[in-house]
Amino acid sequence: MTPLGNNVRDTWLRVTQGKSGVGPITLFDASTFATQIAGEVKGFNFERWIERNPPLASAARSTFFALHAAAEAYKDAMLKPFTVDSRRFGIYFGGGDSGIDFDPFVKTLMASFAASGDLVDKGEYVHQSLRHMNALRELESQPFMTVTHLTRLFDIRGPVSNCLTACAASSQAIGEAYEWIKRGDADVMMTGGSHSMIYPLGVVGFSLLTALSTRNDEPQRASRPFEKKRDGFVIAEGAGVLILEELSHAQKRKAHIYGEVVGYGSTADSYRLTDMDPEARGASEAMRIAMTKAEIEPADVDYINAHGTSTGVNDSLETVVIKKVMGEYAPKVPVSSTKSMLGHMIAAAGGVEAIFCLLAMRDSIIPATINYEEPDPELDLDYVPNTARRASVNVALSNSFGFGGQNICLALRKYNGQ
């Protein structure tokens, strides 16, 4: 579920064509905002889900995205009720928060301004909330509710967790889901992530951090990772859901196997709230750990799906990281950022990007970094500029670095056993 399509086929087709899913914000009137563009999911039928599942009536936007993507993954994995022991079917998800129920919140605030001053009367707020707010919508705004709906609809009764490590969340979820299977806690895990922050407070928050691109007149050219004129990331929404399974369990039921998770590295920067460590020690270490666990050398890496947000700092530092880790092979490894086409889906980004790595293996196509016009002299890796490239991909790495200094790297390998 992405700004480029509501299923894997449509999204991947447009990604390989180098299309952009970014456009003007339509979900609310952003005309007075510094940033007026985003990668929105389009043409999704919420009503159809609610008709079939009335308890979803108050669910968050990102919960619908998660369910829709999960249904496609579940079907593609040929899972059916009773084909898997539901107590050995777990979930480790990267589901972001969904913001507040804005209009009722504002009504409650306005009604609880203290008569004598310009402060909100807290007691009155609690009282007014009973009049204006919807209890179920408040419950649904909690990040764990996406997982609750997924467990309910897909009969998942095994181990459960939701991680909130910002932009690294769904990559971390995939790594942990893999570790849980390795540990023997589950045979099958649902994983990935889902998020939407395209609401007024979400956009304002990132705007205040001056993290967002303000290239409002050219939405489709706004996300330009690694390029000289990059001016921030483009916020996007969607979901990417994967089914991980213990190998022999998948073989026994003859499931289609796209690839294997072979390594996962997780580190903390221990540096600054919104900046990366200038020496990028944490991020390099995450990549090294993933490669060590996967028992791969720089020469084995066929593709790196970069975090590549299109912010000045991230793209410079990620280039440094890749050079550090790949050594003399750094110029030879294709590195691309699919965020150039989709924007940054925050907690959901890693899930979608891991899927792209697996499809790159399946189709022998490396997606491009679009909007690459003028090279940044400092950034001299092979960013797969503008056009997707034919190349066989056996081993891919996917980087995700979270605000606050959470660094994740996943190592994926093509499955050649069938």
If one asks whether residue 354 binds other proteins (CB under 8 A), the answer comes out as: no
Distance CA 217, CA 284 (A): 36
- Phi-psi domain of 131 (left: phi exceeds 0; alpha: psi -120 through 50; beta: other): alpha
Residues 25-84 that bind other proteins (CB under 8 A): 55
Select 48 or 152, whichever has its Cβ closest to other proteins. 152
Shortest Å distance, C-beta 114 to other proteins: 12
If one asks whether residue 130 binds other proteins (CB under 8 A), the answer comes out as: yes
Tokens of 290: 């993933």
Near other proteins by CB under 8 A, which window of 179-187, 312-320, 332-340, 357-365?
Answer: 179-187
Size of interface with other proteins, in residues (CB under 8 A): 38
Helices (H) and strands (E) in the chain, counts: 14, 13
Find the DSSP H helices in 37-168. Answer: 46-52, 61-76, 102-111, 122-132, 135-140, 144-153
Shortest Å distance, C-beta 382 to other proteins: 31
Chosen residue from 75, 182, 256, 272 binding other proteins by CB under 8 A: 182
Chosen residue from 44, 53, 107, 179 binding other proteins by CB under 8 A: 179
Residues 101-120 that bind other proteins (CB under 8 A): 108, 112, 120
If one asks whether residue 295 binds other proteins (CB under 8 A), the answer comes out as: no
Among the listed residues 98, 102, 100, the one whose alpha carbon sits nearest the alpha carbon of residue 28:
102
If one asks whether residue 147 binds other proteins (CB under 8 A), the answer comes out as: yes
Distance CA 418, CA 416 (A): 6
Q: Catalytic annotation on 167?
A: yes
Please list, in sequence order, all residues whose beta carbon lies within 8 angstroms of the beta carbon of residue 399, skipping any fewer than 6 positions away: 171, 283, 286, 287, 304, 305, 306, 307, 318, 321, 407, 408, 409
- Applying CB under 8 A, the residues found at the interface with other proteins are 55, 87, 90-91, 100, 108, 112, 120, 122, 125-126, 129-130, 133-135, 138-139, 142, 144-145, 147-148, 151-152, 156-162, 179, 182-183, 185, 266, 289
**Catalytic positions, written as ranges:** 167, 307, 344
